[in-house]
Structure 1
């Protein structure tokens, strides 16, 4: 059975470190702690005293001061790993954690998982070919030497870097090494850890190289493990669940994230807020539970993005100078059919085309697969269509040789609606308001990645009211915008009211509007 030695790097909050060590060793596992040498001495003494009687706790044989982006983080990890290997001969796995990490599965589940998966878990993507690094330095991390801390010695860091670049003082990457990159939160088997430690003693050239790279905690273990272990024995993923905000900062989890965390396909999560005492207590109890069952749905990233983006209303694409004064044409009439249920709008659009002969295009700003004529490439992607929306619409009017055109928009496209209503052409809108059952909203959440087949019912019950409110808020924003020439057609109202709305929207006779309103299965899901 798997026996885990946790490798803990920490620098603050001694009370939390003590509790974490006690939790992780309560079911027979081990922990090796490196507490930053730059932290308060009394805090380290507090941790040592509290855990002195616990035989499953060890402290790194050497403590050093650590800095972000420095080799010191890797060196501190190696000190803790060396101590764990010598102190805990029965440990079969070594799992890297921080003071901000918490288990999100039971000890029983974690051990069964590791027993069933005899592999190493570590993110290791090709440094140069992957897009793991989104912004900033890339190759410069490796080919130049970095001796100073970028955050605390900014002037020295960039002066040294700029001088090396000016004089071409680059260096070669060790020829037999393929540099890899990934998250520092790994779980490695004992034979892999022992091979890594042996490698550090034998390959001084590689050690010298990594000691002066920038942010080596994202490349050192990732590279060495991939160099030593066959690809078939590596899972290129981390077992620690973490997400990042829009600003590139690690997302912090709080008390109300408990159910979300348990449903993720991970064993740990980071970062847990120091104030989330209830969450820590619940997760701590969970770790010792026997027979706990977990429904894995793994919708965390998309759910978080959805929930945190509510209320952010604004223009995604600013107008280009050549479009500011452009117009669709004073004599042209653009009719916008707005509906959250796209299949309903598409059925109505087909009827409009058949009954009126007006050219109609469904959701051209929402679905890249919408059939469009070749307009010289401006129609190629959603981004191009949205950025050049007025130019695109003028070209469509010209292509169809018409002064009347119907398009579909999702209710969320407020920036597009505002832009078209600001135009000197005549713009009309019909919002088709549908009924939304819980079953439909559940299917909608699944289609857009907010839920999955295994999402717990409790999570859905909290999610569905949020989705329903979001749909209502989109309609409210349209009404609050005060657009002229807007009509509403509701699924729940009488046919006579629906016909009246269609007559005003399309400027058609009552007979034509009636046939459109009575489209077969118009509102069916």
Structure 2
């Protein structure tokens, strides 16, 4: 069975470090600790006094003063790794963690996973081809030498960089290396670690290069693993669950995230809030619990995006000038049916087609496989359809040789509605107001990736009020937009009460509208 040596880099909260080390070694695993030399001596003394006698714990032989983005972080990792390799010959895997990480699975589960696949777990994407870097420096991290810390000596950092650019002092990347980038939270086999340590001794050119790159903890191990290990033996992922906000800040987990964390397909999570005492206590007991009944639903990333997105509704990139000026034509009449329950809108469209000869297209901006004619490729993906929305609709009017067309939109597509109402055509909107049961909202959460088949009832019950509010809020936003020709058909109204809005929406007689309003099981789930 796998024996894990944890490589712990830390710089604060000595009491928590002691607790973390005791929890991780309680089942026979090992830990090598590097405590930042910039931190108070008293803090390190506290940790050493508490853990120094534990045979499963070793300290880095040399402590380094670490700075964010500096080579010092990698040096600290290497010192801890060397100490672990020497002290724990039984260790089969080396797992990088920080003081903010905690196990979200048991040791039994973790070791079964590692035993089941002879591989290394490390994120490693091509530095130049991938979009892993979202903002800031890219190739400048590598081709220029960085001697100063950007956070501590901002002026010196940027002056040095600009001077090198001005003088053309770009440098070559070692010719045999493909630079990779990814998360620094890796889990590597002993053989891989030994190969890396051998390379640090045999390739001074590589060490010299990385020692003056910027943020090398995201490139050093990632590059060397890809250089040394065959592709089939690498899993391009981290076993540590972590998320970042739109602003590049790590998401912090609190007491009410326990069930969410356990349901993710990861072994550890980062960052656990220092104030989340209950969460830390529960996770602390988990690693030694022997549990292996984890239900993996793995909806964390999408769920976080959904919840945090509620605070930024309405943001949208400015349209390109040619999109803004495109029109559908004043002679065209675009009829938009809006409904969160797509099957209800499709049922209504089917009834309209039965009564009237109006081309109608279901959720073309929401469903990839919507049946569309070949329009030269503009219809091929949802991204293209949305980006060229007015051009697409103009082409559809021309293709069907009509001046009236019906489309369906989700209630979340407010930006599309606003755009079409500005498109110099006659536009009418029919909103289908539905009643939403808990069962429907649970199904919606699963379809949207906010929950999975194994999401716990407790997590789902916490999520339901937010989803219900979000659905209602989308409808309120449509009303607040003040669209002219905005009509509503309500599930709670009688078919006769719904005749008038249908007649006005379609410009038909009330007799025809009555036939449509009496569509059997129109609102049934």
Partner of 1:462: 462
Alpha-carbon RMSD across the aligned residues, in angstroms, is: 2.6
Task: Rate the CA distance shift 1:166–1:92 in 2: closer, same or farther, 3 A.
Answer: same
| Residues 430-464 of structure 1: per-residue CA shift (max 9 Å, x gap) | 21123334333333222221222322233223323
Distance 1:393 1:177 in 2: 49
Distance 1:59 1:134 in 2: 35
Distance 2:190 2:358 in 1: 70
CA contact (8 A) 2:496 2:517 kept: no
Task: Rate the CA distance shift 1:290–1:375 in 2: closer, same or farther, 3 A.
Answer: closer
Q: How does 1:442-457 map to 2 (within 5 A)?
A: 442-457=442-457
CA deviation after TM superposition for structure 1 residue 422, in Å: 5.6
CA contact (8 A) 2:5 2:84 kept: yes
**Is 2:303 the counterpart of 1:286?**
no
CA deviation after TM superposition for structure 1 residue 260, in Å: 0.7
Distance 1:315 1:378 in 2: 25
Partner of 1:272: 272
CA contact (8 A) 1:11 1:35 kept: yes
The alignment partner of 1:497 has SS state of coil
- Pairs aligned (count): 525
Task: Rate the CA distance shift 1:144–1:312 in 2: closer, same or farther, 3 A.
Answer: closer
The alignment partner of 1:45 has SS state of helix
Partner of 1:73: 73
CA contact (8 A) 1:315 1:415 kept: no
Task: Rate the CA distance shift 1:175–1:369 in 2: closer, same or farther, 3 A.
Answer: same
The alignment partner of 2:310 has SS state of coil
Q: How does 1:85-164 map to 2 (within 5 A)?
A: 85-164=85-164
Partner of 2:45: 45
CA deviation after TM superposition for structure 1 residue 376, in Å: 7.2
The alignment partner of 1:495 has SS state of coil
Q: How does 1:310-459 map to 2 (within 5 A)?
A: 310-319=310-319, 333-372=333-372, 382-383=382-383, 385-386=385-386, 389=389, 393=393, 402-421=402-421, 425-459=425-459
CA contact (8 A) 2:355 2:512 kept: yes
Q: How does 1:497-512 map to 2 (within 5 A)?
A: 497-512=497-512
Partner of 1:218: 218
Partner of 2:479: 479
CA contact (8 A) 1:317 1:387 kept: no
Task: Rate the CA distance shift 1:370–1:354 in 2: closer, same or farther, 3 A.
Answer: same
Task: Rate the CA distance shift 1:125–1:378 in 2: closer, same or farther, 3 A.
Answer: closer
Distance 2:203 2:294 in 1: 44
Distance 1:494 1:308 in 2: 38
Distance 1:2 1:389 in 2: 54
Distance 2:157 2:130 in 1: 26
The alignment partner of 1:288 has SS state of coil
Partner of 2:173: 173
TM-score between the two structures when normalised by the length of structure 1: 0.91
The alignment partner of 2:312 has SS state of coil
Ranges in structure 1 where 5+ consecutive residues have no aligned partner: none
Distance 1:131 1:319 in 2: 23
Task: Select between 408-417 and 308-317 the one with higher mean Cα deviation.
Answer: 308-317
TM-score between the two structures when normalised by the length of structure 2: 0.91
Partner of 1:188: 188
CA deviation after TM superposition for structure 1 residue 99, in Å: 0.9
CA deviation after TM superposition for structure 1 residue 168, in Å: 2.9
| Residues 111-165 of structure 1: per-residue CA shift (max 9 Å, x gap) | 2222223322112223233332233333332222222222222222222222333
| Residues 380-407 of structure 1: per-residue CA shift (max 9 Å, x gap) | 6545554555565556556655554332
Task: Select between 337-346 and 426-435 the one with higher mean Cα deviation.
Answer: 426-435
Distance 1:382 1:195 in 2: 46
| Residues 169-196 of structure 1: per-residue CA shift (max 9 Å, x gap) | 2333223322222211111122222222
Partner of 2:27: 27
| Residues 353-384 of structure 1: per-residue CA shift (max 9 Å, x gap) | 34232333333333454455666776665455
CA deviation after TM superposition for structure 1 residue 48, in Å: 1.7
Partner of 2:56: 56
Task: Rate the CA distance shift 1:139–1:327 in 2: closer, same or farther, 3 A.
Answer: closer
CA deviation after TM superposition for structure 1 residue 72, in Å: 0.6
Distance 1:420 1:428 in 2: 10
| Residues 301-352 of structure 1: per-residue CA shift (max 9 Å, x gap) | 0111112212532142435556768765666543321111222212322332
Distance 2:436 2:146 in 1: 58
Distance 1:473 1:265 in 2: 32
The alignment partner of 1:496 has SS state of coil
Partner of 2:300: 300
Distance 1:319 1:173 in 2: 39
Ranges in structure 2 where 5+ consecutive residues have no aligned partner: none
CA deviation after TM superposition for structure 1 residue 424, in Å: 6.2
**Is 2:262 the counterpart of 1:262?**
yes
Partner of 1:17: 17
Partner of 2:233: 233
CA contact (8 A) 2:11 2:35 kept: yes
